[in-house]
Amino acid sequence: MPDSSKKKKIAILTGGGDAPGLNAVIYALVRACHNTMDCEVIGYKFGYRGLYNNDFMALNRQSTSGILHKGGTILFNSNKDNLFDYTVMENGVAVKKDVSDVAVQNMKNEGVDALVILGGDGTLTSARDFARKGVNVIGVPKTIDNDLPATDVTFGFDTAVNIVTENLGRLHTTAESHHRVMVVEVMGRSAGWICLHAGIAGSAIDSGQGSSGSFRH
């Protein structure tokens, strides 16, 4: 029977490209685990590559102090390490192999009870596949596009809107000085939330006298 007195161990990794708020999520997860659930927390470095190489660091109040406002991720990341189709060297030749069982065994050896994965489409597709192999997975969608159903705001969206709004304010003076209409293209993939929110906040759609602006997604 499992030992119910054993302290739970939670692992975290960040995959794909960086985005605003990754460190803030790590910070919040670590404090929730320590303060509410009394869990031990480790973080795998460089996304799934760290999971394969068993490369991790302890995450506690000390190691996550002061990261809340920092961009990027203290765990680093990688957007090309799919452990279900991973490049390994065999006899001097690069070949693609499914090495996911190595990652699963690494977690078992470390006593990991659950894996929290911060990532986008590719990263969370692998998260789904690890869940199918019996790993307890919690997926945290990483998208500044705010395009996740049943979710009010995804982390990073607010920062993206603020950055676009700030730069729109700078463009207004140039547009007005030269009496021009400027087209600003922003990120958002197939969703237009950054465009809409920043466009309204930055007066990009203001058609009043003395102001020139336009925006598109």
Q: Where are the domains of the chain?
A: 9-141, 157-216
The yes-or-no answer on residue 18 being catalytic is no
Distance from C-alpha of 131 to C-alpha of 49, rounded to nearest angstrom = 18
Residue 138's DSSP bridge partners are 116
pLDDT of residue 212: 44
Catalytic residue among 3, 145, 152, 206: 145
Judging by DSSP bridges, how do beta strands 86-90 and 40-44 pair with one another?
Answer: unpaired
Average confidence score pLDDT of the chain: 89
Q: Under a CB-based contact definition with an 8 Å cutoff, are residues 77 and 47 in contact? A: yes
197-214 tens-digit pLDDT? 998 998 876 545 444 444
Whole-model pTM?
0.82
pLDDT of residue 217: 45
Hey, what CATH class is 9-141 in?
A: alpha beta
How many Å separate Cα 152 from the centre of its chain?
Answer: 17
Centre a 10 Å sphere on the Cβ of residue 66 and count the other Cβ atoms it contains. Answer: 11
Please report which confidence band the pLDDT of residue 4 belongs to, taking 50, 70 and 90 as the band edges: low
pLDDT of residue 88: 93
Distance from C-alpha of 107 to C-alpha of 54, rounded to nearest angstrom = 8
pLDDT > 50? residue 186: yes
